[in-house]
Chains A and B, each alone.
Chain A
Amino acid sequence: MQDLFALLQFGSDGWGDEIAAGAWLTLRLALATLPFGLAVGFLVALARNSNRGWLVALGSLFATVFRGLPELLTLFIIYYGGQILLQKAVSLFVDTYVEVSSFVAGLVALGLVFAGYASEVFLGAFRGIGRGQYEASHALGLRPFATLRLVIVPQLLRLALPGLANLWLVLLKDTSLVSVIALNDLLRETAVAVGATKEPFFFYLIACLIYLAMSIVSSFGIGGIERWSERGHVGAR
């Protein structure tokens, strides 16, 4: 047992620093995906909530596709497909070889999946806001964008937060898939350590526990944010 933990040392003897670097990349990827996914998800929800038929259809199609596809498949399609598309686009102008970074491919793929689910959450939150809010804003002479920014979004956030918090936890776990497209995240660094030490059970268990720790820390953070968003709201019960 002592020997096993010696393998977790930092520095050239142990794998602690490699695994920590992987965990840091996992965290960075999740944090970078979050704003992208939220923004796209919000736009899709706006589209699905609009009164133009084609926008609603387009938004629904987006949500259906990215909620229905396996995340791994989305990742491959973005990674390999993006590569082909980018190469074609670039070769129209210059004759060089370009490569899609697996970080960007991971970010886009996970972001689109996040957006598909987030649009559903936002849509539910939109439905939770009474018509009176829009009518009152209109009566006060607020323009549509100002209504959205000053009246709707602050209330929307409170309603959407529990759903979004769940999606964050899902996102954190889904980042493990990028290890398959050769991005050195927590799981891949662990796999490298396993390859060298032949201690798969110990290292994968450590990796699982690190993911678990990230989830637990996130849950505390989410609790804090939820209390903050509820500060002006006197709920039932």
Chain B
Amino acid sequence: MNLDLLARYGPRMLEGLMITVELVAISVALGALLAVPVALARLSKARILRALSFGYVYLFRGTPLLAQLFLVYYGSGQFRDALESVGLWWLFRDPFYCALLTFTLNTGAYQAEILRGAIRSVARGQSEAAAALGLRPFPTFVKVIMPQAMIVALRPLGNEIVLMIKGSAVAAVVTVHDLMGVTRLAYSRSFDISAYLWAAVLYLILVEALRRVWNGLERRLTRHLSLRPTKEASDHLVPDAEDAIS
């Protein structure tokens, strides 16, 4: 282990780690906001909404994140004049914002699919009962469907965040100084492979920390289901209670 390398690049790698966290946290949060309308459009009765949302989700899930990033970062340069005239050039000029936009669109598509599956898993009787109680569609969705869907969606959402942390490393290719970017810089100056090994340790710690936090969150949110659940009760409350709890 080369301590000299660590002394020189250690602090910068930690800064890079913060950029990675920032990039992932913002894009996952914005992606979640995007995912709700997209998931609803996927489930809607209007054919045009279904087709549009299907196209969006399929395009972003079927192509590599790196290719999407290139499309946004390099592709936008071609429309510089148009973007300048609408005052959006600052967004596309900066690699960080480009990465943020790409990741948001990407994770939005994945989260929409997760959400769609989760909403569909809520038993039909729930919305029928809500209708019988006289709840309007919007309160039904927010107060009855979503809380139950979120419990089902929790685990796949955690996995999606982990995938996003790992995927965010490609931002380094368009010169964002995230953890991967700083590490590449350190390697190209020192030719010391331990730079990559340190980065590996940091990424593993980040992923493991998230996993622990998420498990804790899940235990807390599903505690009403896991306290000595009778077989019957858990069968009724969540379709796959086993999955949500374990």
**A: which residues have CB within 8 A of B?**
64-65, 68-73, 76-77, 80-81, 84, 169, 173-177, 179-180, 187, 190-191, 194, 198-201, 204-205, 207-208, 211-212, 215-216
Contact = CB atoms under 8 A, between A and B. Distances in A.
Contacts of A64: 204, 208
A154 B170 CA distance: 38
A211 B203 contact: no
B204 A68 contact: yes
Contacts of B75: 200-201, 204-205
A121 to B, nearest CB: 13
A191 B70 contact: yes
A196 B79 CA distance: 18
Interface of B: 58-59, 62-68, 70-71, 74-79, 162, 165-170, 172-173, 180, 183-184, 187, 193, 196-197, 199-200, 203-204, 207-208
B193 A200 contact: no
A211 B64 contact: yes
11 contacts: A70-B168, A72-B169, A73-B203, A80-B193, A175-B64, A179-B66, A187-B64, A200-B75, A201-B78, A201-B79, A204-B67
Given A80-B187, A201-B78, A215-B62, A207 B67 contact: yes
A69 B200 contact: yes
Contact of A77 (B71, B74, B170, B196): B196
A205 B71 contact: yes
B203 A68 contact: yes
A176 B203 contact: no
B71 to A, nearest CB: 4
A208 B71 contact: yes
A48 B58 CA distance: 35
A209 B64 CA distance: 10
A198 B168 CA distance: 26
Nearest to A78: B196
B67 A73 contact: no
Contact of A65 (B162, B169, B173, B204): B204
Contacts of A208: 59, 63, 67-68, 71
Contact of A194 (B66, B74, B169): B74
Across the A-B interface, the 4 shortest Cβ-Cβ residue pairs: A201-B75, A70-B169, A176-B64, A200-B74
Contacts of B166: 68-71
Given A69-B203, A70-B180, A77-B193, A177 B78 contact: no
